[in-house]
Chains A and B, each alone.
Chain A
Amino acid sequence: MTDALKPRGDIGTLMATATDPAGAVFAEPWEARAFALALTLSGDGQFSWDEFRERLIAEIARADAEAVHDHGASAIHTDHPASDSPRGPYYECWLATLEKLLREKALLTGDEIERRAAAIAASPPAPTKSQGRGPIKIA
């Protein structure tokens, strides 16, 4: 009876890849931030949830089509091997949707996003070790 309850097949594999049996809500911190950004901006009326959803649907369809193009029809029956995330491209689609909407609503320009991303990428990571000087005297 316990064996009969064991998930298997492609969806079973997807279930098994979640490290937490309950399923971690967000795999990465960036997913959580992207989620919160979309919700809070929509809640404030910067765009409607329908607008977000319509564009998300388009991004997901695009991701599905790419997977089929690159890996054949069976790609939609398994997790997307091409995606950076082993959990599939869902939040990448979410992020692309968010960025598109921000630009469409002229809340941000593509230019300033690129410049900020470049600036963050170029800034050196904060050192974790102290960079103090050595002893002033050795006796």
Chain B
Amino acid sequence: MIHDDNHDHDHNAPDSGPTLRVKALETLLIEKGLVDPNALDALVDTYEHKVGPRNGARVVARAWTDPAFKARLLDDAAVAIAEIGIAAGPQGEHLTVLENTSTVHNMVVCTLCSCYPWPVLGLPPVWYKSAAYRSRAVSDPRGVLREFGFELPAGVELRVWDSSAELRYMVLPMRPSGTEQLGEDELGAIVTRDSMIGTGVVPYPPAEPAATK
């Protein structure tokens, strides 16, 4: 839980580097009435605890079990996700959902920075923002998938999508076989974040606890 550094009296070491810099900016802006410290705390809390890939997993599970919803999702993602109570928000504009099939596998990158569909996936993981991913997702996407432990069969077309200020993408991964008897909630629990970025598929049985919150 992030606490306000201004009130941290247990902190013996002097602030330095970025901590110092941020504290200087924050205290000045608060004093000038340009930011509200409660609003800052609420934002941190939202993105640490409330908005994350669990949202996207619910979208995927609904799409797998409800073909009409899936059709609406592929046609207009923003309207469809609102149906299941996921709030639009920053970085949710112009969201497109890309469907993986037996012949097409989609993968998303932001080559210039870190554009990412926050409302459905939360904030991007460190590797998504790395120079390695940003460059190699384009120059060697199958190699990148191999580093994620996933060998894409040669006959499957790999489409790499570059996110940008105008466009955000979320991948709708294929429903793994053997899940026919799972209900929507159980399906949501097995969807991994990486499968919604396109750097993997949904394993079943789950390889490890689904890395989401």
Contact = CB atoms under 8 A, between A and B. Distances in A.
B29 interface: yes
A4 B151 contact: yes
Counting chain B residues whose Cβ lies within 8 A of the other chain, the interface size class is: 35 or more
Main secondary structure of the interface of A (DSSP, over half): helix
Contact of A5 (B21, B39, B207): B207
Given A33-B44, A46-B34, 18 more contacts: A4-B150, A9-B147, A11-B144, A15-B126, A15-B127, A22-B193, A23-B125, A30-B18, A33-B2, A36-B40, A40-B43, A76-B132, A84-B18, A99-B21, A108-B25, A108-B32, A112-B28, A113-B25
Interface of A: 2, 4-12, 14-15, 17-18, 21-23, 25-37, 39-41, 43-44, 46, 49-50, 53, 56-57, 60-61, 64, 67, 75-80, 84, 87-88, 90-92, 95, 98-99, 102, 107-108, 112-113, 116-117, 120-121, 125-126, 128
Contacts of A46: 34
Contact of A11 (B40, B123, B132): B132
B79 interface: no
Nearest to A31: B18
A108 B18 contact: no
A134 B124 CA distance: 54
Contacts, number: 200
Given A41-B34, A91-B18, A32 B48 contact: yes
B125 A128 contact: no
Contacts of A36: 39-41, 43-44
A117 B12 contact: no
Contacts of B144: 11
Contacts of B151: 4
A93 B65 CA distance: 42
Contacts of A112: 28
A29 B65 CA distance: 40
Contact of B28 (A31, A43, A108, A126): A108
Contacts of B5: 29-30, 33
Contacts of B9: 126, 128
Contacts of B44: 26, 32-33, 35-36
Interface string B38-78: 01110110011000000000000000000000000000000
Contact of B131 (A9, A53, A67): A67
